[in-house]
């Protein structure tokens, strides 16, 4: 009985950890359609880089995931156009960053480039 109870508690803890720690995998269209819902939330997006700008490592790049386009603000250098990127970050509104003003933008916390 105690083993069952401790397994149940363990399962709840594991689920809680994964549900709170992992960013929601979503698509750009959903974010752009309802930015208020996603504001301040961590999201994960994957797509191709269609535009970018940067200076001294700080800048932004635009990802197209097939459903729409969104800008990602970064301080770790920008990937080149055409690269396939998976990015995690927090959705922000009305952010001015590195000389540009964004409507809806994802502030990058983590990035994976395909093939790296």
Partner 1 sequence: MENKTAEKREIVKELDLAFARLIDRLKVLVKSVSPDQLYRRPPSVTFGENILRSAAILEQTFGGLTTNLWDDPFEWTLPETLSSQDRIIEYLAEVDATRERAFCCFSDDALTKYVSSPAGEFVLLSVLLDALVRSSDYHGRAAATVKIYSDESMVRFII
Residues at the interface with partner 1 (CB under 8 A): 32-36, 39, 69-71, 93-94, 96, 100-105
Strands 42-55 and 24-25: parallel
If the CB atoms of residues 20 and 101 are measured against partner 1, the closer one turns out to be 101
Least Cβ distance, residue 83 to partner 1 (angstroms): 20
If the CB atoms of residues 102 and 108 are measured against partner 1, the closer one turns out to be 102
Q: Which residue has the tokens 């635009």?
A: 62
Determine the Cα–Cα distance for residues 106 and 70; give it in Å rounded to an integer: 8
Least Cβ distance, residue 77 to partner 1 (angstroms): 20
Least Cβ distance, residue 1 to partner 1 (angstroms): 51
If the CB atoms of residues 79 and 102 are measured against partner 1, the closer one turns out to be 102
Are 104 and 91 spatial neighbours (Cβ–Cβ below 8 Å)? yes
> Backbone dihedral region of 57: left (phi > 0), alpha (psi from -120 to 50 degrees) or beta?
left
């Amino acid at each position: 009985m105690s083993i069952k109870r401790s397994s149940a508690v363990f399962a709840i803890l594991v689920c809680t950890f994964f549900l709170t720690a992992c960013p929601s995998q979503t698509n750009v269209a959903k974010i752009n359609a309802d930015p208020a819902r996603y504001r301040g939330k961590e999201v994960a997006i994957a797509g191709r880089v269609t535009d970018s700008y940067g200076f001294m490592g700080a800048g932004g790049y635009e990802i197209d995931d097939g459903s729409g386009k969104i800008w990602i603000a970064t301080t770790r250098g920008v990937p080149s156009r055409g690269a396939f990127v998976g990015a995690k970050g927090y959705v922000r509104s009305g952010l001015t960053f590195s000389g540009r003003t964004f409507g809806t933008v994802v502030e990058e916390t983590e990035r994976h480039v395909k093939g790296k």
